[in-house]
Amino acid sequence: MSISEITLAEAHEKLAKKEISSVELTKACLEKIKKANSDLNAFVSVNEESALEQAKEADEKISDGRAGVLTGVVCGLKDVFCEKGVETTACSNILKGFKPPYDATSVAKLREAGVVFVGHTNTDEFTMGASTENSAFGVTKNLWDKKRVAGGSSGGSAVAVSANMCTFAMGTDTGGSIRQPASFCGCTGLKVTYGRVSRSGVMPMASSLDTIGPLAKTCEDAAHILEIIAGRDKEDSTTPEVKAGDYVKNLNKDLKGMTIGVPKEYFIEGIGDEVEKAVRTGVKEFEKMGVRVKEISLPHTKYAVPVYYIIAPSEISANMSRYDGVRFGPAAEKADSLQDFYMKNRSHGFGDEVKRRIMIGTYALSSGYYDAYYLKAQKVRTLIKQDFEKAFKEVDLILAPTSPTTAFDIGENSEDPLKMYLSDIFTVASSLAGLCGVSVPCGFDKNKLPVGLQIIGPQFGEAKILNAGHQYQCATRWHIEKS
């Protein structure tokens, strides 16, 4: 077994006892990347030299007794996290060559904690997608079956973690982009409450929905990472003064006496039989732990996808307007007018999905249509949020499938955006409500493709969902199965 396979918690123990060094761990990850990345395309850039330097520094910190739990472990960053001096492109041609002059807040916090950054991971362009097929760097392949997608948009991060190319990776989740690829690749993906982790320095997609979180090997690892990155940041006014919880201390709490809701709207036509079976078996596992399970109803669930696909593109159309070739990335060398200059930069720089969403969003926000689309969608969003508020009066947590299917074939949905959008059907509602959720592996289908179980919690309920996920991972072995 390569040491790159160990969890963050195990790595910390071994590093602290000097059984391994950070340089050794980093080399083991680099070795995996060298072996597998040309095939899987999880990383779009790798910084070997700088990673080894950071690892050396981490080893010094450990020797001097200045180390924390994350010191010396290896991290991949989704290519939307600004890393000072390192090309960060959101996997878009429009940002080719862009080197941010600063670290995103979450990156700075992880750096301060002694994390080793090994490279940037693949994503759908500006995180728009559910399969990593919309990347300017080409698709990421699923490690369980290379004909299939890794999910998206954090597909690169999910494969990087599951294929042991790094100890953990950072992702973003606007409508499912951490949870769905974690489910497709068999790792643990944490979507935090809106505002729990600073978005500063992370390229935005839809600002009222975007969240930052880890893809990790276990819930225990995710808890350690969250303790470092959570909290108020003056650079992001949507991070409230809500104290970051004792996520790690909480992990071992007994679940006995807890009530968990299973929403009937999440077991609908279109969900794969084997997905349903694995998720239902997961629910039974919680019952064995002394949890009371109750069927609940979230009646506005059916509106979540249409509402999301009005609100997200509207905010996308506003956020994408900053990319015009003037401030960031390459610019057209010749242009006849300012208009022509913008046209050239944006039509060459953006891919089809980004353009599609800019058009939908601009239309939905335009005068005369705003009330009919954006405003209406916001109103229905409130109803969706109220469904959850009502449910959380009766239950502590909600269990559901993460995605209706396991990983689909590369190319299977890429020509049909509506079909692709349906792969978010179980993740967008909780995103619209600003809740937290974690996807944990809960079984396989007959093709040995991983299935994800989603544990949804109330706002700022991260300690609860990680506790539940950890207890589940102590009782089951799905998260340690190998491809």
Residues near ligand GLN, by CB under 6 A: 127-130, 153, 172-177, 205, 312, 424
Among the options 92, 153, 157, 414, which is catalytic? Answer: 153
Among the options 162, 177, 198, 423, which is catalytic? Answer: 177
| 363 φ, ψ (degrees, to nearest 5) | -65, -50
* Nearest approach, Cβ of residue 210 and ligand GLN (Å): 7
Judge contact between 58 and 78, C-beta under 8 A: no
Instruction: Give the separation between CA 402 and CA 428, rounded to whole angstroms.
Output: 10
Helix (H, G, I), strand (E, B) or coil at 69: coil
Q: Which residue's Cβ lies closest to ligand GLN?
A: 177
* Nearest approach, Cβ of residue 425 and ligand GLN (Å): 10
Read off the tokens for 289.
């732990």
What is the residue whose two structure tokens read 């979507």? 191
> What is the DSSP pairing of strand 145-149 with strand 211-216?
unpaired
In angstroms, how far is the first alpha carbon of the chain from the final one? Answer: 14
Q: Of 37 and 127, which CB lies nearer to ligand GLN in the complex structure? A: 127
Instruction: Give the separation between CA 199 and CA 80, rounded to whole angstroms.
Output: 11
Q: Of 89 and 177, which CB lies nearer to ligand GLN in the complex structure? A: 177
Q: Of 43 and 126, which CB lies nearer to ligand GLN in the complex structure? A: 126
Q: Of 176 and 329, which CB lies nearer to ligand GLN in the complex structure? A: 176
Instruction: Give the separation between CA 214 and CA 236, rounded to whole angstroms.
Output: 19
Whether 177 is a known active-site residue: answer: yes
Helix (H, G, I), strand (E, B) or coil at 43: strand
* Nearest approach, Cβ of residue 76 and ligand GLN (Å): 17
Rg (CA), the chain: 21
Judge contact between 127 and 209, C-beta under 8 A: no
Q: Can you give the length of the chain in residues?
A: 483
Q: Of 149 and 222, which CB lies nearer to ligand GLN in the complex structure? A: 149
* Nearest approach, Cβ of residue 407 and ligand GLN (Å): 14
Q: Of 75 and 354, which CB lies nearer to ligand GLN in the complex structure? A: 354
Helix (H, G, I), strand (E, B) or coil at 22: helix
* Nearest approach, Cβ of residue 153 and ligand GLN (Å): 5
Whether 207 is a known active-site residue: answer: no
* Nearest approach, Cβ of residue 429 and ligand GLN (Å): 12
Instruction: Give the separation between CA 84 and CA 94, rounded to whole angstroms.
Output: 19
Strand partners, 296: 263
Instruction: Give the separation between CA 168 and CA 154, rounded to whole angstroms.
Output: 12
Q: Of 130 and 216, which CB lies nearer to ligand GLN in the complex structure? A: 130
Burial 367-387 (b: 16+ CB within 10 A, else e): eeeeeebbeebeebbeebbeb
Read off the tokens for 403.
């995605």
* Nearest approach, Cβ of residue 307 and ligand GLN (Å): 12
Within 8 A by CB and 6+ apart from 70, the residues are 8, 12, 110, 113, 114, 115, 224, 225, 228
Question: Is cis: bond before 153, omega within 30 of 0?
Answer: yes
* Nearest approach, Cβ of residue 282 and ligand GLN (Å): 23
Among the options 61, 78, 141, 217, which is catalytic? Answer: 78
Whether 153 is a known active-site residue: answer: yes
Q: Of 129 and 461, which CB lies nearer to ligand GLN in the complex structure? A: 129
Instruction: Give the separation between CA 154 and CA 73, rounded to whole angstroms.
Output: 20
Known catalytic residues?
78, 153, 177
